[in-house]
Amino acid sequence: MPDQPKIVPFNEIPESGVDLNLAVEQARKMTAVLDAMGIEKATFKSGAFFHHDEGNGVTTLATDGLIVQQRQHSTSVTFRHEDSTERQAIEELADGTKVTQEILGAFSGKSQPWASRALSHNDSDAE
């Protein structure tokens, strides 16, 4: 495997200076491994989150500041802007997109309960 690109842990991609193509390739590799293991949904100790929805065929990997969603014919990558807060980013994503609170929590580097509180504006810690 010396000719393959270095595999960077998914949660380190936003800070690693890895290019977009490598981030997508890493997501594909992780998805292939998790699918081969029969995993439908997983939360990693790092806070990264994986979900494969058999119903619509969408596979999502999310970590602090990064979401990669793979569909049958397309892949989308979402980065949180450096000058944006976690709350600003998840409010924008939650408005009109089909993104779960688990994904929003992982994307925020927080948790699903944090995302729920932040979106309901019921928690002063969700700043």
Q: Tens place of pLDDT for every residue, the chain, 127 residues?
A: 445 555 556 666 655 555 678 778 888 998 999 999 999 999 999 899 999 999 999 999 998 888 999 999 888 888 888 889 999 998 888 876 677 889 889 988 999 999 999 988 765 554 5
| pLDDT recorded at residue 92 | 87
Domain ranges of the chain: 10-120
Q: State the helix-helix crossing angle for 112-120 and 86-94, rounded to 10 degrees.
A: 80
For β-strands 58-63 and 49-53, DSSP reports them as antiparallel
| pLDDT recorded at residue 100 | 86
| pLDDT recorded at residue 122 | 66
d(CA 61, CA 69): 6
Whole-angstrom CA distances from 34 to 2, 51, 71, 82, 99 are 22, 10, 16, 30, 20
| pLDDT recorded at residue 69 | 92
d(CA 40, CA 14): 24
| pLDDT recorded at residue 1 | 43
